[in-house]
Structure 1
Amino acid sequence: MSQFALLGRRRFAPFFWTQALGAFNDSAFRNAMVMLAAFQMGLSDREVGLYTNLAPALFILPFFLFSATAGQLAEKFEKTRIIRFVKLFEIAAMALAAYGFIGHHLAFLLVVLFMMGVHSTVFGPIKYAILPQALQPSELVGGNGLVEMGTQMAILIGMMTGNALMLITGIGPHFSAALTIGVAVIGYIASRFIPPAPATAPDLRFNWNPVTETVRVLRITGEDRAVFNAVLGISWFWFFGTVLVAQLPLYTRINLGGDGSVNTLVLTLFSIGTGVGALMCEKMSGKRVEIGLVPLGAFGLTAFGIDLFLARPGSAAVRGLDWHAFLAASGSWRIVLDLTLIGVFAGFYVVPLFAFVQARTQRDRLSRVIAGNNILNALLIVIASVFGLGLGMLGFNAPQIFLLAAVLNVVVAAYIFTLVPEFLMRFITWVLVNTLYRIRVDGMQNLPEEGAALLVCNHVSFMDPLLLMANLRRPARFVMYYKIFNVPLLHFVFKTAKAIPIAGQKEDPAVLHQAFEDVDAALANGELVCIFPEGGLTKDGNIAPFRPGVEKILERRPVPVVPMALRGLWGSVWSRHDSMMGRTRLPRRFRARVELVVDAPRPAAEVTAAVLEQRVQVLRGDFA
């Protein structure tokens, strides 16, 4: 099923439109307020600058003050009910905004802006914590992609609409007031159709102290190292995006020689690119939470950020170009491509990180982890603003700031990937597997979502563990022959994935004994463990007899067993089909079509090595 089919499902569609309409209203209101101050009230440049710089600070302040409280609300109470209260709050805020618009009361509008910051702060933890409750695991990446796309498009359309309506001579404030109130009402109506999302921690003891609760939320966010570093990655995305977007008005005017229509164009390119990248994540990840896309996204942000600097490092020769004239000018399409692809790779970067946080965090603390993420995001946005202003005061122009941000992105990405090698390991696995094979997966819904299980699979090629790593929705510990475990380059992947090396009794009894100990410890810890019971690669394409080691594991730790089968690998890269007299011929089936079939779990008491061998043979069929 395509991710777009979710837009026809009640468990997703009402929420999608509720959050998109809220993002639209945030953007439309803020931009209408700026246009009112800048063009409708006859204020001095100094006064306009004061209001336009104060506005972002007031909007971001509630994220520091109330995120921790919002995270508790989303854990302790039913989420849909909170969403409806938030939308009613938005209607009230927009009614007050109408008074400020029509009466030209800027100070009053700043109070409303703070209220909208509160609105976004309370909605934030619910926005991402509700998705794992509403979606199947295979839908999580696609759902996040749709939400990210919807948010980007809503912000962009809201910006353009808010600007355009407020600039209508004489009646702009009235149109702006009517629009924002109307959208808020429609958002509330949409929220009435969101299905219930039960509380995940109804017994949570509420802490009303925002300071101590913020400290506690940040501590909870940091407890899982991989999740915390994913949160840092998301916060860095906001830093990078804030630096980029903040420079675009000056970049447009000075370096591109464009007018306001060109500024709108470059913002549109970035937003559309991000939306496209977000939507592509589902296809590229095979509907799995694939953090291997994150290094790819980081690489693209740096590569096209540097090229944006190289494309137009100096001032434009001609000023005042509209968007038509800009596109017709020499070198403009390179800039268009750079801005769009920065957005595309931003989507590759951020969507898997959000899905990773949702998939790896316990349900009864996910809202608080998202709240911690929002606090760190707000902090990085403030730092990004100071960073951009500081570099501007030091004499850096917009392209130079783009270059510095792109270089810093390499440093930050390397730091995160060093702390959590799983990101880089998944990237290597994703690239290798998707380069060498075309894979179809059947029955992945049979894989247990939580708890221990023993996975058994036929063994056809040296790439089998990588194929399974790249396609299983949950991380698994692979038991593999110690010589394969120690293959250069792949050793990093296998070690990072916590694979378990094993040897024959005659080769190394100590390694064999330790392997069984590690398998038992992993199962006791609720992990998935995958073994290849044939004990080695097939030499003729047929499944060899399963060895009794699987029975030994189950005697000690009776856990569910999931039979699996790989099809189509015989004759592909690194199988033994082309082996002759100890030499390996060039592979004849590069980009082989491969299938992975996952069977329903079986109780340990019902399986033996022979029963599993027969079942895997049936799953594989004649498609060796």
Structure 2
Amino acid sequence: MAHNQFELLRQRRFLPYFVVQALGAFNDNVYRQAIIGLLFFMGVTPEQRTLYTNLAPALFILPYFLFSGLAGQIAERLEKQKLIRITTAMEIGIMSVAGIGFLLQSMPLLLLALFATGLQSTLFGPVKYSILPSVLKPEELTGGNGLVEMGTSLSILLGMIAGGLIFVLAGQYGPVTAASAIVLLAVTGNLVARAIPRVEASAPDLKIHWNPFPESLRVLRLARRQLAVRNAILGISWFWFVGTVLTAQLPTYAERFLGGGQTLYLFCFVLFSVGTGVGSLLCEKLSRRTVEIGLVPLGAIGMTVFCVDLYFAQPQAATQAGLTVREFVAGGNWRVVMDLTGIGLFAGLFIVPLFALVQSRTPKAELSRVIAGVNIQNAGFIVLAAGLGIALQLGPVNILGITVPLPALSIPEIFLALGIANALVAIFIFSLVPEFFLRFLAWIYVSLFYRLRIRGVEDNVPDEGPALLVCNHVSYMDPLVISGAVPRPIRFVMYYRIFNIPGLRWVFRAYRAIPIAGAREDPAVLEAAFEAIDRALAEGELVCIFPEGALTRDGEIAPFKPGVEKILARRPVPVVPMALTGLWASMWSRRDSRLGRLRVPRRLRAPVQLIAAPPVPGESASAASLEAQVRALRGDRP
């Protein structure tokens, strides 16, 4: 198991897959930019070049609408390494046709191959993301997705640069160079794909429905079944919307408002792409190797702030022209540089946890089809973003005799509108699923006040299936610390009077906490709690209880109550003993008076530790034995 995301790049279970998907993204963009180079090489008119730049994206994205439903089914049915070999072999054939198109300088043949490239990408898309939960542990998902997003961003960037330089550097040999490059890259991808270990099919008995249209609707419904997953997918599609609107404006923005040209446009694109890559890589460190959806609001806030500031950085048209990158930077335009990099960085923080959430909370037998649904929705948002970006610059338009009163916005005003729209969409998503925002607040609190050290959680908390977590109870912040250390979602059992505190009840309900009462206080609430715990375990969830029944009053561990035995008598699932240390001195323990708890802790970034022992069979676990194990884990560190 990798303890650092970069260690995955030395392991066969991840490295060949990472190289294949990066090569695919690189080759796609080399090909598309080389076609533009060929148009200049052939000396076609600007009108013909404009026709291509509008037609090519439509041809590439059309297969996502038509065939994603089929692609999701195929990705479930076939062994995944075999499917990757098939799609990379398809790429060899497609790029061979494209190579002939370059040699013959035939645009119809190149556009046909471009459509086929979109089809190949459609087939590869579901397996690209659904393979990760099969080869990575839950605590590696965020880091693995961060590497994939970083690799994709940089591959797109480098592919655009390499494809754009082919005809510049090769001159009269440009067509031969372009044909050779794309075929060689495709062959390399297929050879590397053969090193990917075998990954069994997630649903080998799935019956494939070949009619693409009803199947596309079916996978879209499948992707919307779970509320958190549905809204994570909405967030992913919104990421593509923002990225499309932003990057589509950069060529004209660099020329009209920054006073540069093609080179300065590429520099702007580099800033955004590198920022996205850095943000993607930061996710694992910031999330402490868990699927930390609390980073999503942070990413949304950052994207909004920098989009809005990009408007104020350069709201008026440039008074100069032909600036080089050096002249642009030397001219004190650091604010534009910061804004474009910041948008990319926070976009990386936004997208990676969303993909990790979809992968971690979707059944493996459905994940490829759900990813197919994601791709359909993404394609729709990309088309909408491209059309809206054009329409907002044209002003009022006439559609079938009806005038649509769209405002005529400048490009900086589009950036401002994008930032405002991003804030509104984020608020909408977080209002539907408060878990995102609540995790954000919890992440800020734990990161600000504690230095959390985790021992044994990765090895001892099951990656899937039910388990009961038992832990000593030191402070009111214990659930936040535990949920921040365990990659999987946890159902916490809590005292019903705290659960029912006015103003906080909605928070606990959003966390799906289970209220419990003492047998003498409210037997009905107690029985309902046991039923809810049993139901959660039956559905394969993690449930955490504090068997002491209350916060410690002296820093020591109180005797465990027999309720844990009643839970295991109903459903003898594995039990993971856990111990918290370092929280007794916090302001949320009972060390001080009620007023004293409101003081600032004596030490910011105080060291806190969560230790987990190997699971104990539920059939043999008892309250006394579990108490002894938790005491041993904690030692004499309150």
1:270 shift after superposition = 0.4
Using the TM superposition, give the Cα deviation of residue 262 of structure 1 relative to its aligned residue in structure 2, in angstroms.
0.6
Residue 430 (structure 2) pairs with residue 429 (structure 1): no
Q: Secondary structure at the match of 1:167?
A: helix
Residue pair 1:294, 1:423 contacting (<8 A) in 2 also: yes
Kept in 2, the 8 Å contact 1:573–1:590? The answer is no
Kindly report which structure 2 residues correspond to 1:466-545, keeping only aligned pairs within 5 A, or say none. 466-486=480-500, 491-545=505-559
Distance 1:424 1:583, change over 3 A: closer
Query: Residues 34 and 167 of structure 2 are in contact (CA less than 8 Å); yes or no, is this contact kept in structure 1?
Result: yes
SS of 1:605's partner is: coil
TM-aligned CA deviation for residue 21 of structure 1: 0.6
The C-alpha deviation readout for 1:543-593, integer Å capped at 9, x for no partner, is: 111122222322333332221110111212312223389876553133211
**CA-atom RMSD, angstroms?**
1.7
1:578 equivalent to 2:592? Answer yes
Residue 406 of structure 1: how far off its partner (Å): 1.1
Q: Which amino acid aligns with 1:439?
A: L
Structure 1: which amino acid aligns with 2:132? L
**Is 2:352 aligned against 1:351?**
yes
Q: Distance in 1 between matches of 2:425 and 2:212?
A: 30
Q: Which moved more, 1:525-534 or 1:502-511?
A: 502-511
Using the alignment, how far apart are the partners of 2:96 and 2:597 within structure 1?
78
Give the match for residue 385 of structure 1. 386
Distance in structure 1 (CA, Å) of the matches to 2:486 and 2:513: 15
1:537 alignment partner AA: L
Q: What is residue 471 of structure 2 aligned with on the other side?
A: 457
Listed as ranges, the gaps of 5+ residues in structure 1 are: none
Where 1:249 maps in the other structure, the secondary structure is helix
Whole-angstrom CA distance in 2 between matches of 1:144 and 1:584: 39
Any idea what the Cα deviations from partners look like across 1:395-429, whole Å, max 9, x if unmatched?
31111111111111111111111222221221122
State the alpha-carbon separation in 2 of the partners of residues 142 and 531 from structure 1: 29
Aligned to 2:427, which of 402, 414, 420?
Answer: 414
Displacement of 1:523? 2.7
Letter in 2 for 1:589: R
Against the structure 1 CA distance between its residues 599 and 263, is the aligned structure 2 distance closer, same or farther, given a 3 Å change threshold? same
SS of the residue corresponding to residue 287 of structure 1 reads: coil
Q: Could you say what secondary structure the match of 2:580 adopts?
A: strand
Mapped pair 1:160 → 2:161:
yes
Rounded Cα–Cα distance in structure 2 between residues aligned with 1:194 and 1:582: 58
Contact 1:425 1:492 in 2 (8 A): no
**Alignment partner of 2:446: what SS?**
helix
Distance 1:550 1:438 in 2: 30
Q: Give the corresponding residue for 2:402.
A: none
Q: Name the CA distance, whole Å, in 2 between partners of 1:150 and 1:544.
A: 50
TM-score, normalised with respect to structure 1: 0.97
Structure 2 distance, partners of 1:77, 1:556, is 39
In structure 2, C-alpha distance between the alignment counterparts of 1:515 and 1:183, rounded to whole Å: 58
- Structure 2 residue aligned with 1:5, among 7, 32, 36? 7
- Summarize deviations over 1:352-374 as a string: whole Å, max 9, x none: 11111111111111111111110
- Higher mean alpha-carbon deviation, 517-526 vs 280-289, is at 517-526
Give 3-state SS (helix, strand or coil) of 1:141's partner: helix
Measured in 2, the distance between the counterparts of 1:517 and 1:360 equals: 23
Aligned to 1:130: 131
Q: Return closer, same or farther for 1:589/1:481 CA change in 2, 3 Å cut-off.
A: farther
Displacement of 1:432? 1.5
User: Could you give the per-residue CA deviations for residues 599-623 of structure 1, whole angstroms, max 9, x where no partner exists?
Assistant: 2221223222211111100011122
Which sits farther off after the overlay, 520-529 or 79-88? 520-529
Which TM-score applies when normalising by structure 2? Answer: 0.94
Q: Deviations over 1:462-519 (max 9, x none)?
A: 1111111222222122112234334576544322111122333454444334333332
Q: Distance in 2 between matches of 1:322 and 1:535?
A: 68
Larger deviation, residues 600-609 vs 405-414: 600-609
Structure 2: gaps spanning 5 or more residues: 396-407
1:607 — aligned with what?
621
**Is residue 566–residue 596 contact of structure 1 (8 Å, CA) maintained in 2?**
yes
Using the alignment, how far apart are the partners of 2:98 and 2:82 within structure 1?
A: 24
Distance 2:324 2:569 in 1: 75
Alpha carbons 1:579, 1:585 under 8 Å: kept: no
- Contact 1:578–1:584, Cα closer than 8 Å, also in 2: no
Distance 1:623 1:223 in 2: 45
- Do structure 1's residue 561 and structure 2's residue 575 form an aligned pair? yes
- Within 1, Cα distance between the matches of 2:201 and 2:98? 33
Q: What are the within-5 Å matches in structure 2 for residues 79-228 of structure 1?
A: 79-168=80-169, 169-228=171-230
Q: State the AA in 1 paired with 2:571.
A: R
SS in 2 for 1:273: helix
Residues 102, 582 of structure 1: alpha-carbon distance in 2 compared, 3 angstrom cutoff = closer
Partner of 2:320: 318
Query: In the TM superposition, what is the alpha-carbon distance from 1:30 to its structure 2 partner?
Result: 0.3
Which string of whole-angstrom CA distances, capped at 9 and with x for unpartnered residues, describes residues 433-462 of structure 1? 112211111111211233332211101111
Kindly provide the amino acid, as one letter, of the partner of residue 422 in structure 2: N
Question: Residues 65 and 379 of structure 2 are in contact (CA less than 8 Å); yes or no, is this contact kept in structure 1?
Answer: yes
2:557 partner letter: I
C-alpha contact (below 8 Å) 1:578/1:585 kept by paired residues: no
Of 266, 282, 291, the match for 1:264: 266
Deviations 1:257-277 (A, max 9, x none): 112111010000000000000
State whether residues 428 and 493 of structure 1, in contact with CA within 8 Å, keep that contact through their aligned partners in structure 2. Answer: no
Q: Contact between 1:149 and 1:276, CA under 8 Å: does it hold in 2?
A: yes
What's the secondary structure of 2:619's corresponding residue?
Answer: helix
Q: Check if 1:232 corresponds to 2:230.
A: no
